[in-house]
């Protein structure tokens, strides 16, 4: 018997972390929580040095056809620009790039297709450090 992740009364427990590193120095992390009942994952972004409250407080929701990922902007190397995002298999996401300009980024097979940006999936990197 499978449990419907949309009607489940989630009981999240800490599952792991993905550290975001530059030159082996951690600049942030993504905490990963998993429901003990239905196994759905929830993620929370932690950027070191950023003291603003996150856009979403608590366990953010994600569509059943999306996966948690991190986008990295190669154009902002001095600022180490990365962000936790919800990636669909195909489509587009909006990305705040240089000078706070919002641009569309094409997604194919849960990955960004762009020379100046890249992404990785949280599921593939739980309890690992990713160099950006």
The string of pLDDT tens digits covering residues 19-62 is 999 889 999 999 999 999 999 999 999 988 665 555 555 677 89
- Cα 116 → chain centroid: 18
Range of weakest confidence among 31-35, 97-101, 112-116, 118-122: 97-101
Distance of alpha carbon 26 from alpha carbon 47, whole angstroms:
10
DSSP-derived secondary structure letter, 98:
G
Distance of alpha carbon 43 from alpha carbon 64, whole angstroms:
14
Please give the mean pLDDT across all residues of the chain. Answer: 88
Distance of alpha carbon 57 from alpha carbon 107, whole angstroms:
26
Q: Enter the pTM of the model.
A: 0.86
Q: What are the tokens at 89?
A: 């298999």
DSSP-derived secondary structure letter, 10:
-
Distance of alpha carbon 41 from alpha carbon 34, whole angstroms:
4
DSSP-derived secondary structure letter, 89:
S
Burial-class residue 108 by CB neighbours within 10 Å (0-12, 13-18, 19+).
Answer: exposed
Distance of alpha carbon 131 from alpha carbon 101, whole angstroms:
25
* pLDDT of the residue at 47: 85
């Amino acid at each position: 018997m499978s449990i419907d992740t949309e009607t489940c009364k989630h009981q999240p427990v800490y599952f792991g972390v993905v550290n975001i590193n530059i030159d082996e120095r951690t600049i942030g992390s993504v905490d990963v929580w998993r429901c003990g009942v239905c196994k759905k994952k929830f993620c929370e972004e932690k950027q070191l040095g950023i003291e603003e409250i996150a856009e979403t407080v608590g366990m953010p929701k994600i569509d059943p056809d999306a996966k948690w990922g991190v986008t990295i902007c190669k154009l902002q190397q001095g600022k180490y620009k990365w962000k936790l995002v919800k990636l669909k298999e195909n489509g587009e996401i909006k990305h705040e790039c240089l000078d706070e300009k919002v641009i569309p980024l094409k997604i194919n097979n849960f990955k960004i297709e762009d020379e100046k940006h890249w992404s990785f999936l949280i599921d593939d990197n739980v309890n690992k450090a990713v160099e950006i």
